[in-house]
Structure 1
Amino acid sequence: MLRHNPQLDPVQRELVEVTHARLPEYAGMQSAEEQGPLLAFLVRLTGARHIVEVGTFTGFSALAMAQALPADGKLIACDVSEEWTAYGREAWAKAGVADRIDLRIAPALETLRAMPAEPHIDFVYLDADKASYVDYWEELVPRLNPGGVIVADNVFYNGDVTDPATTGAGAAIRTFNDHVAADDRMEAIMLTVADGLTLARRRG
């Protein structure tokens, strides 16, 4: 699949390698390599101009999405780590898209709740602490434009969601998956990409 998908550009490739080399303990938090081109494809497909990312880590996914934005597009990246996102800042500057990314270092719920309450978001990538997924969803959905898309990562959570006895993050994702399926404001589909992706579109 990786051979037949769009190849990572040099800045993307370097960021992936730097993340694994310098943060080997946490590198599994980085979006899978195939997800970068997929996110960029979806941004172009939807014509998104205003993106929100919840959970940025070292900035690979933000880089891929920002590169797919039009020149006047904006991506608000929410994270709590100055250390991890510093790698992203460097890569975004190298790729010439730093001016499209507004990095906000704060708990993401605070950042989301400070945004205008009316619909204004075109595209969301959700890849943060799993226990808060439902809370993030409830802040994001009312702010989505009609036709706006949320992409949620790790909806399989390493297969734990199939275990009725799972606890912790696995149980939180089970709850999130059920919540999404029951939300009639959105139409959603689950994909077997990496650790599971849900794509959901705002009706209306």
Structure 2
Amino acid sequence: VLLCINGTCIMNSWAHKNVAFDMSYPEMNELAATAPVGCDGLLVLPFGNGAERVLANKNVGAKLAGIDLVRHSRAHILRAVQEGIAFSFRYGIDIMKNLGLRPNVIRAGKANMFLSPLFRSTLATLCGARIELFDTDGSLGAARGAALGAGIYKSADEAFSTLERLDVIEPAADWKDSLEVAYGNWKREVANALKNL
């Protein structure tokens, strides 16, 4: 099953260009990891790239919510961005669960947001799922899927059999409670944003 969250990950790119322009992505990830889980109440809605399928094609935009100009630092903002993106994934997975699906493994290419150890652990914990990372990316996955659809491969097993698994990430039990509280607060922000459209 493919989860479509149109452009939430561009929020991390925006943060790099506008908040951490003097840092590499690995440095951003290291700084973000110094902020506490749940970011002391700072939330990010990462929907600044147009209408989202998981929000019934509504455009709620991007938003920093609950910012405290005395308490919150650049590290908080960077972690809140990654948590907000992970929350959007969880939101989509909750929709899948309401449709009767029970995803317990997330398979992805070791690229883009999945290069961030913080993001990977946050997502695995939020979703209660193991993440398996493979030596591939979205473009190669699309090509394999197209070849499968065109009949070049006889099965999905054949299409993806040569992929090398690079890493496995398990949920971080010590983050679960704090992330669940933050996710509940984030969902309320999303609900309020949708109500105000």
TM-score, structure 2 normalization: 0.27
Q: Larger RCO: Structure 1 or Structure 2 (Cα < 8 Å, ≥ 6 residues apart)? A: 2
More helix by share: 2
Higher strand share: 1
